[in-house]
Amino acid sequence: MLSQITNRFKSYRTRQRVINELSALDDRQLADIGINRGDINRAVAFGRY
């Protein structure tokens, strides 16, 4: 049970790190990789990045 909690926390932290990194990009850079600012959370949540 503790390992499940640990794994979920690690996964959450990884997703947050990716969201923060993508959010730091400007709109042109986001367009270059095929997403816009409003798609960041969705792209991360559904495993696109």
Contact 33, 12 (CB under 8 A): no
pLDDT tens digits for 5-25? 999 999 999 999 999 999 999
- C-alpha radius of gyration, the chain, whole number: 13
b/e 5-41 (16+ beta carbons within 10 angstroms → b): eeeeeeeeeeeeeebeebeeeeeeebeeeebeeeebe
Q: 3-state class of 23 per DSSP? A: helix
Answer yes or no: is pLDDT of 49 > 90: no
Please tell me the pTM assigned to this model. Answer: 0.82
Alpha-carbon distance of 13 to 33, in angstroms, equals 22
Annotated domain spans of the chain: 2-45
pLDDT band for position 48 (cuts 50, 70, 90) = low
